[in-house]
Structure 1
Amino acid sequence: MDYPQQVGGLSVAARLDRLPMTSLHKRFTAIMALGTFFEIYELFLSGVLATTLKKTFTLHGLELSLVLASAFVGAFIGAVVIGRMADRVGRRSAYMLTLSLYSAATLACAFAPNVWTLVLFRFIAGIGLGGELPVTDSFLGDILPPERRGRYAAWAFTAAYLAVPVVGYLGMTLVGTTPLGIAGWRWMFGFGALGAVLTFLARRGLPESPRWLESVGRSKEADAITARLEAAAQQEGWTPPASEPVTAAASAPVQKLPITSLFREPFTRRTILMAILWVLAPVGYYGFSSLATLALAAKGFTVSSSLTYLTFSFIGYPLGSFLSVLVMDKYERKWILCAAFTAMALTGMAYGNATTTAAIIISGFCFTMVANVMSNAGHIYQLEQYPTGVRTTATGWLYSLSRLSTAAAPFYLIPLLDSYGAAAVFTLVAVVMLAAAFAMTFGVKTTGLSVDAIADPNTQISPEVSARSTALPLSTPETP
């Protein structure tokens, strides 16, 4: 078994943790954000086009549910399979696979001649999408310094969620038009495919995760990438300590963990709580994006006015993501999640009962804003729960539950909407969000701590990293 590469007694993981945030970190974060932009674009596309596709293909309840659910069923498979692959072959290789699948299938959606072809290619695109977010989360968790991990991961998602108002704007301007004789909704799929190709080219410049390389014994490669980050930090004024003690991580062999470790201590409680998070959160998060226009149509609003109101509501997504940047490293992640879920319950109820233009736009905007605080906190909290060797596997398996939950949502939310109206739908959403808020109170504390220290409370880290990690009044990682 290989041992971690050491510099001054430190493993690669410990060397990464002691670094300040550099321009190179920011560049890698921006590249990750670009890919996530087009994933978010695709995930919200079906909700924006729901009423249009319903009219174009004369869809009934079951068929519409299949169109809305197909990408998320594919994403479930992608999250499980590609998440595990990323822990075996590397984060970077997994990126390229996700983007290839997504771009090809999304382009095919633009030329779909019938609803069943559209469902098929949405499913294939979903496989690529399913692997994207777990791999992105893991890469950011692997490479970002502990004291800035929450802030810059939130920045990445903030940039990515600009895709949501872009989807709304394109829907408002293209739906109902035929540029060059091609239906506007087909152009919207084509835009997503083009973006994926551009992202594929940009991500060729990404390195492999040095923390992952170290975990699989590829020490020389891990050392080279870490040295590159250290050189960038020194060019920007950082000076490494003259001497540092050997850490526990540096003196022990790399351990390869099986999937079954997710259900052993100290991870059992975390696995249960994260499963609860990803099953319940999509009921509100994607329930809103998928049903917002249908809910307004049920209240008698036209397709055009519904898309206009939705576009204004969608502005809340990037603004909420920006709000998360301001709070992510100041407060415990689990309490941010609790507060955001509670706010989603209240604003969702307001949207479901809104009847005036002002009430619809304001409540919709507030819902999407707090929903993205929840989403960013959830992603960051997830990437902090497990050690490097199973981080993407765990994230993929657990996040796949969100895809199943999202895929299932149209099959019970649309009948509920048709039978009892928007108020009943968002009452259910509120109850589920409050249940999620309660569950998160049992989570572990993570803010400001090394991912290795969170994964193993007995891990020793260097004094410099420890000093930064304890700048906040936190208790031990496993304290609820």
Structure 2
Amino acid sequence: MSQTIDNAPYTAFHRRLALACSGGPLLDGYILSIVGVALIGMRPDLGLSTAQVSLIGAAALVGMFVGGALFGVLTDKIGREVMYTADLLVMVACSVLSFWVDSVWAIAVLRFVLGMAVAADYPIATSLLAEWLPAKHRGRLLGQQIVAWYAGSVLAYVVGYLFLELAGPGSWRWMLASSTVLCVVFLVIRRGSPESPRWLAANGRVGDAVRVVEKHLGVRVDGRELMPDPAERARRSSGLRLLMTPPYRRRTLFCGLFFLCQVGPLFAMLTFGPQILSSFGMPGGTVMETLGTGLISLVFLLGCYPALRLVDTKGRRPVIVWSFALMTVPLALLGVWPTAPAAVALTALCAYAFLCGGPNVLDWTYPNELFPTEIRATAVGVATSVSRIGAAVGTYLLPLSLTGLGTGPTMLIAAGTTALGLLVCVLWAEETRGTALGAAPVAGRTGTAKTSAVPAQRVPQTARG
């Protein structure tokens, strides 16, 4: 199985699947960012306190903490395909209901459920994609999923800006409901996406796995190659408990902690970007602050592109270590210079955003490459959940910190969190570039095993089904 898929030709099928799987990250970026603009009108309309603003900002992230762990396990149990559409239907319902909210708690509950649905999509979609991709394209295409996240974030600020300009701050209900359109678009795109052949084989459905590989990859595979070995069956029965046993314990902690240290400052910045820029004296009122935050989101997106190339040419470990080291510098600068002019602050935050590209493209690459099929979605879900602890805490505390501690200490806390991420990567980051998807997680291996060079056997055009 591993050799057949890892060495299969890269085709239009892979491109379509990558596009379909990008829906979850894109919606996550949009849903988490649009609320930052919506709060401009929501705060005076509903008379929100600082604590209530923090609650609304963090609610979706708390939901992601719950949803990541819960649905990652469920996805490994019942399959990727079953969950692939259900989570989008939940997002549609919550987005529509957001238009009629009239209380803080109603908004918080809907944001919490939205967060659960978004977090469910990460282990579903990234595991499905990883289990179909050829090895030499896996790092790039998994990394591109985070590009979709920032595309969603940039789109949210563009849409929010247009609503502010055309309808004023009172249009915040339309902003919250606007994610419905994106959900429907990806529901259509995802129609017909197949189940993972690796999951099918691991669950005893070898015949189905053979047929789906031949249909979508055009390669003939021997059913005996797909049969899971006894070790794989044992791993499947262990489930979540296996993540905390050697050699997976360190990998589980690494994936969760570097993700946490990355997104804690990042999500707080994107959710409350206008407020951060205002603390540095950004002129022009709410519209200029929104445009400034949109620019930072765009730079986050641009920073992913050189990182996508580097993870495949230089390797995963050097990219993530150097990225964390350099990301600390602009945050520390703003921490020791809290009176910096708005232009300097915006430049420093854009530099931080660009340097985040390395960890960004490895957020889902690492957990998908470090764990076997039987617990892959569980591992992605757990990493997502752990990361959202940092994101929720950072998002909840940032407005309170800016008000209570000031800009300088707030930026120094963000720099310290990023430095902790650097330490985690220096100690625990492994190199998984070119590793066969089924080989890296085996006990006693270091994640450096290369994929076999045995070519896949093409199926004649008339036999592809």
TM-score by length of 1: 0.85
The separation in 2 between residues aligned to 1:325 and 1:262, in whole angstroms, is 27
One-letter code of the match for 2:217? E
Quick check: 1:339 aligned with 2:322? yes
Quick check: 1:306 aligned with 2:306? no
For the 8 Å contact 1:177–1:183, the answer to whether it is kept is no
Change in CA separation of 1:383 and 1:251 when aligned onto 2, cut-off 3 Å? closer
Change in CA separation of 1:160 and 1:205 when aligned onto 2, cut-off 3 Å? farther
Please state whether the residue corresponding to 1:101 is helix, strand or coil.
helix
The separation in 2 between residues aligned to 1:393 and 1:331, in whole angstroms, is 28
The separation in 2 between residues aligned to 1:18 and 1:138, in whole angstroms, is 18
C-alpha displacement of 1:39: 2.1
- Structure 2 residue aligned with 1:221, among 208, 216, 224? 208
One-letter code of the match for 1:454? A
One-letter code of the match for 2:266? Y
C-alpha displacement of 1:123: 1.2
C-alpha displacement of 1:177: 4.4
Quick check: 1:185 aligned with 2:172? yes
Aligned ranges 1:197-216 → 2 under 5 Å = 197-216=184-203
- Structure 1 residue aligned with 2:341, among 345, 356, 380? 356
One-letter code of the match for 2:404? S
- Structure 2 residue aligned with 1:148, among 106, 129, 137? 137
The separation in 2 between residues aligned to 1:464 and 1:298, in whole angstroms, is 50
Partner residue, 2:459: none
The aligned length equals 443
Partner residue, 2:146: 157
One-letter code of the match for 1:395? V
After superposition, the CA RMSD in angstroms is 2.7
One-letter code of the match for 1:380? T
Partner residue, 2:378: 393
Partner residue, 2:257: 276
Q: Write the deviation string for residues 396-453 of structure 1: whole angstroms up to 9, x where unpaired.
A: 1221112222222234332221123222211111111111111112222211101211
The separation in 2 between residues aligned to 1:410 and 1:137, in whole angstroms, is 25
For the 8 Å contact 1:142–1:211, the answer to whether it is kept is yes
Partner residue, 1:136: 125
More displaced stretch, 19-28 vs 342-351: 342-351
Please state whether the residue corresponding to 1:19 is helix, strand or coil.
coil
Change in CA separation of 1:49 and 1:347 when aligned onto 2, cut-off 3 Å? farther
- Structure 1 residue aligned with 2:437, among 451, 471, 474? 451
Aligned ranges 1:310-321 → 2 under 5 Å = 310-321=293-304
Change in CA separation of 1:354 and 1:109 when aligned onto 2, cut-off 3 Å? farther
Quick check: 1:38 aligned with 2:60? no
Aligned ranges 1:20-419 → 2 under 5 Å = 20-175=9-164, 177-178=166-167, 183-231=170-218, 254-255=232-233, 256-258=236-238, 259-301=240-282, 302-350=285-333, 353=338, 355-419=340-404
One-letter code of the match for 1:142? E
The separation in 2 between residues aligned to 1:411 and 1:33, in whole angstroms, is 27
For the 8 Å contact 2:59–2:111, the answer to whether it is kept is yes
Quick check: 1:466 aligned with 2:452? yes
One-letter code of the match for 1:46? V
For the 8 Å contact 2:36–2:270, the answer to whether it is kept is yes
For the 8 Å contact 2:2–2:436, the answer to whether it is kept is no
Q: Which stretches in structure 1 are left out of the alignment for 5+ residues? A: 1-11, 235-239, 469-480
Identity score, percent: 22
C-alpha displacement of 1:247: 7.0
C-alpha displacement of 1:250: 6.5
Q: Which stretches in structure 2 are left out of the alignment for 5+ residues? A: 455-465
Partner residue, 1:472: none
Please state whether the residue corresponding to 2:440 is helix, strand or coil.
helix
Partner residue, 1:421: 406
